[in-house]
């Protein structure tokens, strides 16, 4: 079995949020929701900006360009429940 480990990392302090998914589409969906939520909190982010996009790649670029957050998705083989927890703890 394989698992996608999606990470959302804040630039300003390096804190990381981790999401687990069984498909790349679900991992991107989870990160998209998180990036939109983050930008919504900022937008209040900036009244001059257009609507917050719903495209994963566009949201990633906003995070990089604004130096707000960084996202990553890694495929990781899973052998047992203990193995999942070990990998997640190593990522944190």
pLDDT in the model for residue 45 = 53
Residue matched to tokens 């079995």? 1
> Which candidate, 42, 29, 35, 90, places its Cα nearest to that of 64?
35
Comparing 82 with 4, which gets the higher pLDDT? Answer: 4
pLDDT in the model for residue 83 = 64
* pLDDT tens-digit series, residues 33-88: 999 999 888 766 555 666 888 999 999 999 998 889 999 999 988 766 666 677 67
Domain that holds residue 15: 2-91
The model carries a pTM of 0.78
pLDDT in the model for residue 51 = 82
Strands ordered across the beta sheet of 2-10: 16-21, 2-10, 69-77
**What is the Cα–Cα distance from 86 to 8, expressed in whole angstroms?**
18
Domain count of the fold of the chain: 1
């Amino acid at each position: 079995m394989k698992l996608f480990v999606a990470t959302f990392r804040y630039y300003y302090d390096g804190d990381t949020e981790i999401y687990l998914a069984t498909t790349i589409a679900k991992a991107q969906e989870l990160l998209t929701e998180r990036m939109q939520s983050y930008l919504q909190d900022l937008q209040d982010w900036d009244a001059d900006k257009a609507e917050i996009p719903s495209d994963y790649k566009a949201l990633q670029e906003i995070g990089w360009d604004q130096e707000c957050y960084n996202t990553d998705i890694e495929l990781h083989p899973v052998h047992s429940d203990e193995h999942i927890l070990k990998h997640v703890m190593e990522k944190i």
